[in-house]
Structure 1
Amino acid sequence: MAYCHERGKKLYVTLNNLQTAEELEEIDDYLRFLSEIRPDAVILQDLGLLRRIRELGLKLDIHVSTMLNTHNAPTLALLARHGVTRVVLSKDIALKDVHRLRTETAATGIELEYFVHGDTCIAHHGSCAQSGVVLGASSNKGRCYKSCRWDYELVDGATGKRVASFNDGPYVLAHNDLCLLSHIPEVVRAGIATLKIEGRMRPAEYVAPIVAVYRRAVDRYAEDPSGYLFNIEDLRSTVEDRVRDLTTGSAFHQVRLESVGSSGEREPKIFSKPVKEKRLDFDDILTGSFERCFTVETILRNPSSPRFSVHVGDMASALAAMTAGADAIFIGGTVSLARAIPWSLEQIKRCIAEGRRRGVKVFVATPSYLLWRELEECREMVRALADSPPDGWLLPDMGAISLMREEGRGALIGDFSLNVMNRSAAEFLAGEGLELVALSPELSFRQATEAAHGSSVKTEVLVHGAVAGMRLDHCLIAALAGNRTSDDVCPAPCRGRGYGLRDGAGEVHSIEPDQYCRNTLLIGADLCVLPFVRSFAAAGFASLRYEAQYDPPEHVGKVVDLYRRAIDDPSFALDRDGWESLCASAPRPLNL
């Protein structure tokens, strides 16, 4: 730090990993050390860490990492209120949306930082669980094994047969490197305070020339905007010295086929290989192979029975879940166009009324990614439901939390995308009005119980259903099957037909396209803890969740009935016939 300050440079310390409860307990001394040496700022992702710094009364300037996936004005305003001075925006935001954010949040004084060059993930930051869940190396903890760089082929979701596609190779998720060197005026005029160059895991001899050409470009534009032209020699040298091919990413348009290095020719290193996911079979249940994974000291002796909640994708599934014994239903929000159509206001009102008649709570989800369009639609929906409000709202990010605190009625529930891994993060969100917080699916059973134990905040865990491996800001189906993006006139190949990506190990990852032309890529196997759900019921979680929005109604009813019986009846034992029937109706294999 002294070396930097002697040369008039600023130094920021990255703490942008999510912390488990155990890790958070060990970090106080390090935070105090940082407060003593006073770096120019620390960069955080974990809301629990933000809360901990304030609790300790430390004098640290706080920036928020791109891993928090910030993309709307209400989130920026909330962070500013908690003392954050700068936010590194999501890499998926177009420059026109950055300019809008700058205008809407100017009064807060918060600064915006934006990536202009380097390695770029194809998934929303903070929303990629593929490496963490399948390989045990979480991107939210800085250990990503880059499953986006695996080889894949597009397949029919029903038959598994290969589908002809426009890509020129199998690396269809391997995003090229970002380069905005020829667009410095647009970057500056968007209101960005700091340009960020990705340089980690890059040698100094590669990073230094890139920093130099951007420094020259920014200075030249500041000196004479009207006479500015980018230096063609600087651009040529940058292109010649590139690792991967270069793209402008999402700065001006949706990710296109040419934004991805699908041939793999310039991919510098493949960090991992696809693996076949372990299947849970009945012999595992009989032999108790996994019992030790679900035994921890924090299990309560006399727990109250947890609520069983179900997130559904259509009205038929909502009714099936209610009939089978669900305590709460989540509806609305983002839906898969391969399986359903967006919830209409009439359907939402009908479901709320049906829930009240049956004594089942009904919560409405907001879309999983909220730019200005989605925020406006949420405001309109709240007003339209004023006479028949739901029991509450399922919220994916802090912008949605801010919006519903101001305009919504009912309980506020934090969804899995908030990436809560510790009690401090849950209590931060409780301070923002949440009464229930879903814990990250990347946590083990032991880690989840540690996060929930002793907390004043009610917590929820995922026990069954689809797990989102990656969330993408563009449509893979349109790109691969139609050579289109949502910016084009798209023939909508996603409607009514299922697609998947099959990796090199043979696992099929279902592609779920939504009404906003974004995609969710599922992990190959669904989570199923049915044989061990009594341990979850005894661990003190307030709610157990079944993610059923990609499941058919008849399967939803079967799953809810089995979990209802297992939770309520201590003597319940799943026999082989029951297990095989469950597996036969499941749309995807089952796993832990």
Structure 2
Amino acid sequence: MLLNRKSVELLAPAGTWDALVAGVESGADACYLGGKHFNMRMHEGDFNFDDEMLKKAIAYTHEHGVKLYITLNNLISDEEIPALREYLTYLNEIRPDAILVQDFAVLELIHEMGIKIPVHTSVMMNTHNEHAIEKLKEYGITRVVVGREMTLSELSLFRERTGIEVEYFMHGDMCISESGQCIHSGVVFGQSGNRGRCLKPCRWAYQLIDEQTGEVLDKDSDGAYKLALKDMCMYRHIPQLIQAGVFSFKIEGRMRPAPFIRRIVSTYRKAIDAYIADPTGWQPDEEGWKSLYENRARDFTTTFAFGSPDKKDIGFDGTREPRFFSDAVKEAGFQDEILKQERDIDKSNPDHRTLSVRVNTVGAACAVIDNGADIVYVGGETFRPNKPWSLKDFAEVIAYNKGRAKIIINTPRTTMRRECGELEQFFTALRQRELKADGIMVSNLGSLKLAKRLTDLPVQADVSFNLFNHLAAKFLKENGLTMGTASYELSFEQLREIVESSELPIEVVVHGSYESMICDHNIPGMSLPFFNELNNPEVLDRRYALLDKAGEKHSLRVDQFGRNHIYFAKDLCLYPYLAKFNGLGAYRIEAQDYAPEFAGMVTRIYRTALDNLAAGKEAFHADDLETLKKGPRELGLGTYRFRRSRNSI
């Protein structure tokens, strides 16, 4: 690859006009910014650009030979769709060089309205495999901001196989959770990180404890801020970025002041130009490094660029944290004043209401089948010390079932190169061994593409698709999916809009334990001096939890891929309110963290309640609610305590 000035793009953030000017004058090839609505930085009223300023910004950047990208990269709820149509019409008139998107609804509207603006996928779409790119190219996507968990070696192969233009974060604030897979702020505060309003629970103080005994395990650790990832800084690794095939070098920081932007952009501009002019003679300019380091907000890390992060990449002591957006709070119990006032979903019910259950073991699958589950989800991630699902396990469940329930094969939420390779082999084995499964559940566009290509089974969408509106449901239906699972971050009012408007059947989780974040970091390993899986692999099977300052205990589960799943302190329970939830494709129980006996008991209670509703009888029984309270965690309402997930208009 012969390099020239156009070989790479230096992409600068702008939250104000002064910051935009600073980026342009300092040598950015492109700038990105957001309007007053529909973007991932919605907290600060003085930031972002109104419609007239957007038009002015495009004119200004183009006069200086700089491209301008507009972020439209948050989840959209149904009440916001009319305003989104108006906004897209306006953007089509003023013609930015691209828009960055997360929600499938935007792709639907772009196609429907004939919008001619190039489209890039935001990092929030969590694009991390080549099969997803194949699907996105069908919608005219020209660039992807790849997931933060992708190493440069993986990225290089990814770029080579897909030919897609790649944008990669090179400097700034990083999330510890996988992009789009953190719902902690949305569920606890009604302010979703997927909608630009994150209150950053990852920056809280936590103790690492033994979940079963409560023993504090990290008394000798470096500090309490275990999820506080340091800021990305790839200044010393510009050659590796360029040679890996990264085209756009993205600086994060739309809330940063103009002098901060000017310093960073000019420093990177000089270093990139020096490498392009003389690659073999390049070395980091130490004056440039000193400027970045002495003016840093947090300390620096390279996160996943060269492999998995470790303890050196976490700001454990919290001393360099520039701002704490929130404090730990007790999660909501049955604070149901708003939910009780809500109008019931107005959609007809079938004679038999479908109950689905996700389980963790063969024993649990058999238990929920015996207690009336209509759909059983098996497979996908397994949390140690349970073993991953084998072909033999699937065959055993199918044989035991004898056609009583539908057996749906679940797949991992994250499918990097390893998982995609395993899925290809697994889907082929499903067909060759004639395992009589009834369908497949997928969590991203890549596994959807594989499932449709390698099997002839019905495919449905799991919660990782962040289904937030009826247009996203339409997108899924058009791509051959038979059912979609609603986002956990929807309020009842917002869920009602989707269920009443969608032609795609909508599944809703009504009970169970669920993850607030999914992390590709080894959280116990970064905090515990005795954690060494090579010397004592049993440390992987110990049950850990994070204890926050409000006294809430968040179970920590490690799957077979080494990913850490952080759970909410309370399990979701909608048992007292089932009569409001009409017209659902399925009522789902998340029993993946339940023992077989308890999973069967919960299934029986919900089966009885749904059957009573269908028969016009009382569904709620106080004794059954007391039984449900005997699970591993307290129960709560999650986001259904709020009127709505705070919007982005």
Query: What TM-score does the superposition give when structure 2 sets the normalisation length?
Result: 0.86
Show the 5 A alignment for 1:86-235.
86-106=143-163, 110-164=164-218, 167-235=221-289
Q: What secondary structure sits across from 1:375 in the alignment?
A: helix
Q: CA RMSD in A?
A: 1.6
Deviations 1:236-256 (CA, angstroms, capped at 9, x unpaired): 211111110101111112121
For 2:343, the aligned partner's letter is T
Aligned to 1:54, which of 103, 111, 132?
A: 111
Superposed counterparts of 1:303-322, under 5 Å:
303-322=350-369
Taking only the aligned residue pairs, the percentage that are identical comes to 39
Q: 1:345 to 1:31 in 2, by over 3 A?
A: same
Preserved CA contact (<8 Å) 2:172 2:231:
yes
> Which ranges of 4 or more aligned residues in structure 1 deviate by more than 4 Å?
288-291, 301-304, 482-485
Q: Quick check: 2:444–2:464 contact (8 Å CA) kept in 1?
A: yes
Q: Verify: 1:341 aligned to 2:394, yes or no.
A: no
Alignment of 1:560-571 (within 5 A): 560-570=603-613, 571=617
Q: Which deviations, in whole Å up to 9, do the C-alpha atoms of 1:206-235 show, x marking residues without a partner?
A: 121111111111111111111111111111
Following the alignment from structure 1 to structure 2, what is the Cα–Cα distance between the partners of residues 560 and 89? Answer: 39
Q: Does 1:295 align with 2:343?
A: yes
- 1:258 counterpart SS class: helix
Q: Equivalent residue of 2:623, what SS?
A: helix
Q: Distance in 2 between matches of 1:545 and 1:371?
A: 27
Structure 1 residues 36 and 326: CA distance shift in structure 2, 3 A? same
1:456-500 Cα shifts (integer Å, max 9, x gaps): 211111111112100001221222234768xx8463354432110
Q: What is the CA–CA distance in structure 2 between the aligned matches of 1:342 and 1:494, rounded to whole Å?
A: 18
Q: Whole-Å Cα distance in 2 between the matches of residues 30 and 422 of structure 1?
A: 17
1:12 matched to 2:69? The reply is: yes
Partner Cα separation in structure 1 for residue 116 and residue 609 of structure 2: 50
Indicate if the aligned counterparts of 2:554 and 2:567 stay in contact, CA closer than 8 A.
yes
CA distance in 2, matches of 1:526, 1:472: 20
CA distance change for structure 1 residues 559 and 54 in 2, over 3 Å: closer, same or farther?
same
Q: What does residue 243 of structure 1 align with? A: 297
**Residue aligning to 1:73:** 130
Q: Is the 8 A contact 1:166 1:483 kept in 2?
A: no
Q: Shift of residue 301 of structure 1?
A: 5.0
Structure 1 pair 588–376 and aligned structure 2 pair: CA distance change class (3 A): same
Q: What is aligned with 2:545?
A: 500
Q: What are the Cα deviations for residues 334-356 of structure 1, in whole angstroms up to 9, with x where unaligned?
A: 11114x1111110011112323x
User: What do residues 322-371 of structure 1 show as CA deviations (whole Å, max 9, x unaligned)?
Assistant: 01100000111111114x1111110011112323x042101111111111
Amino acid at match of 1:491: N
Relative to structure 1, is the Cα distance of residues 165 and 71 closer, same or farther in structure 2, using a 3 angstrom cutoff? Answer: farther
The 3 A distance-change label for structure 1 pair 304 and 204 is: farther
Question: Once the two structures are superposed, what CA deviation does each residue of 1:123-172 show, in whole Å capped at 9, x if it has no partner?
Answer: 00100000000111100000000000000000111122211366311100
Once the two structures are superposed, residues 177-220 of structure 1 have per-residue CA deviations (whole angstroms, 9 ceiling, x without a partner) of: 00000001110011111010001111111121111111111111
Q: Kindly indicate whether the alpha-carbon contact (under 8 Å) linking 2:359 and 2:592 is maintained by their aligned counterparts in 1.
A: yes
Q: Provide the residue aligned with 1:447 in structure 2.
A: 494
Distance 1:112 1:558, change over 3 A: same
Secondary structure of the corresponding residue to residue 316 of structure 1: helix
- The equivalent of 1:547 in structure 2 is 590
1:119·1:198 contact (CA, 8 Å) conserved in 2?
yes
1:544, 1:491 → 2: CA distance? 41
CA contact (8 A) 2:407 2:438 kept: yes
**Whole-Å Cα distance in 2 between the matches of residues 234 and 484 of structure 1?**
38
1:265-414 alignment, distance < 5 Å: 265-280=319-334, 289=337, 291-296=339-344, 298-300=345-347, 303-338=350-385, 340-355=386-401, 357-386=402-431, 387-414=434-461
d(CA) in 2 for partners of 1:464, 1:454: 24
Aligned-residue offset at 1:433: 1.3
User: 1: distance between equivalents of 2:378 and 2:341?
Assistant: 32
Unaligned residue ranges in structure 1 (runs of 5+) = none
Are 1:531 and 2:576 an aligned pair? Answer: yes
Secondary structure at 2:147's aligned position in 1? coil
Kept after mapping to 1: 8 A contact 2:188/2:332: no
1:23 is paired with a residue of what secondary structure?
Answer: helix
The CA distance in 2 between the partners of 1:164 and 1:454, in whole Å, is: 49
Structure 1 counterpart SS, 2:169: strand
Shift of residue 26, structure 1, vs aligned partner: 2.2
Give SS of 1:77's match.
Answer: helix
Alignment check: 8 A CA contact 1:24 1:49 kept: no
Scaled by the length of structure 1, what TM-score is found? 0.94
Q: Which amino acid aligns with 1:341?
A: K
Deviation at 1:578, TM superposition (A): 2.8
Q: Counterparts of 2:600 and 2:403 in 1: how far apart (Å)?
A: 16
Query: SS at 2:488's partner residue?
Result: coil
